[in-house]
Structure 1
Amino acid sequence: MISESDRDDARLIWEFHRMGHEPKRCSVAVGLGSHDLGVAEVAADFYLRGLAPLIVFTGATSRTTVDRMPRGEAEHYKERAVELGVPASRVLVEPDARNTGENLRFTRQLLSDAEVTVTSLLLVSKPYEERRAYATARQEWPDVEIVSASTPISYDEYARSIGDERLVIDMLVGALQRLLVYPEQGFMIHQDVPESVRAAYKRLVKAGYTTRLLPS
């Protein structure tokens, strides 16, 4: 059973993970692979609205996607985007990345090899990964403008859509831990984390939402 205090802490962390960027026209939309096909749907919507002339989907598989996306996250994302009306010729697939840093490095190389000039990215992730994706992109690709985006959805709506609220809170906690420790390891830029968010994180860890934490 999830307490209301735990849920309030999760909502606070959820809002911190969202960047609040306004989507605008960019050189390319990049959809970061995951279990969530909503990433592909948002990227497809950006293309269909004329906000990006090209989409790159990046991602292999992980323990949470190998069964549901056996051909790889990026390939399944492309299939969904094409279903929604994006021409297959306007989608590039990067099938090898297994973490956010690789997503950005491999995508950068793919676009360079394709001779695509990139000055700005519409970076599409899961809602609770917006800030992590942004911080990683700034580290890996510092010379382009980054617009971080995701499905416009509230915490409560997202938890209902996933069907496992405890898992969602675990993922929120894991994503915040990475924002705290990865800058020291050179994986992303540093971002200030408000004390209220840190306190909520500590309470949720103490309450047992730890399955997505990095090993100590």
Structure 2
Amino acid sequence: MSPAVLQAARTLWDFHLIYDEVSKADLIMGLGSYDLRVADRCAELFHQGLAKQILFTGKSGNWTGGLYDGTEAEAFAMRAKELGVPGKAILIEPQATNIGENIRYAKAMAGDNIRRAIIVTKPQTQRRAHATVRAQWPDVEALVTAPPTRFENQPTQAYPLDMFIHEMVGDVQRMIDYPAKGFQIAQSIPASVADAFDFLVKEGYHHHL
């Protein structure tokens, strides 16, 4: 992989990161994916006393078909239990197949008493989660965070670097297209990010568009 591709990928990575300062909330929501480190981060926040309940949401998506024995939400819940989170503190939403459904289905399951939620996702989907929850659950104060993973360590054996770059490119495209459909709030795309996006598409990283 060329240095130019890696530099463009890092530009998208930096754009996607948010890491809100988290504080006490009514709910921790873990968005299902290939990355079990999200469940680890949810468990960590739970043990810090930031919320009394975790809701894991996810069936399977573009990247996780066949990865787990059950759904993403079930796999995340099992990981959290292994890390000491009691089962009675965990809710499982096993139907969502994308971030919009994660938010809508979790909202329906959580009920009307949620005023503040901590949304935990992969580092590179923080901005997409931020834009989605503000469009589809506007009456909740949403704090978006992720495991503190470095760019170099984000790819996994099941999800290598090239797939990781395809995902980041596709999520920029969604930030451009989805506000008009009501799926996300509009995001400002810096020129450096737009240039990196165009370059990576030309280099063939367009499988998630």
TM-score range, shorter chain: over 0.9
- Picking from 92, 114, 119, the partner of 1:118 is 114
RMSD of equivalent CA atoms: 1.4
| 8 A Cα contact 1:61 1:69, kept in partner | no
Give the drift of 1:66: 2.7
Aligned residues: 209
| 8 A Cα contact 2:117 2:140, kept in partner | yes
TM-score, reference length from structure 1:
0.92
Query: In the alignment, which residue of structure 2 is the partner of 1:38?
Result: 37
Query: In the alignment, which residue of structure 1 is the partner of 2:136?
Result: 140
Q: Can you give the 5+ residue segments of structure 1 that lack an aligned partner in the other structure?
A: none
Distance in 2 separating the partners of 1:174 and 1:136: 15
Query: In the alignment, which residue of structure 2 is the partner of 1:189?
Result: 185
Can you list the C-alpha shifts for 1:26-69, whole angstroms capped at 9, x where unaligned? 11000111111111111111101111111000011235323121
* Residues 105 and 151 (structure 1), Cα distance of their counterparts in 2 relative to 1, 3 Å cut: same
| 8 A Cα contact 1:123 1:147, kept in partner | yes
Counterpart residue type for residue 43 of structure 2: A
Query: In the alignment, which residue of structure 2 is the partner of 1:72?
Result: 71
Give the match's secondary structure for 1:159.
Answer: coil
Counterpart residue type for residue 111 of structure 1: A
- Picking from 198, 205, 209, the partner of 1:209 is 205
* Residues 130 and 33 (structure 1), Cα distance of their counterparts in 2 relative to 1, 3 Å cut: same
Distance in 2 separating the partners of 1:160 and 1:104: 25
TM-score, reference length from structure 2:
0.95
Query: In the alignment, which residue of structure 2 is the partner of 1:86?
Result: 85
Q: Which structure 1 residue ranges, 4+ long, deviate > 4 Å from structure 2?
A: 160-163
Identity percentage of aligned residues: 38
Query: In the alignment, which residue of structure 2 is the partner of 1:12?
Result: 11
Q: Can you give the 5+ residue segments of structure 2 that lack an aligned partner in the other structure?
A: none
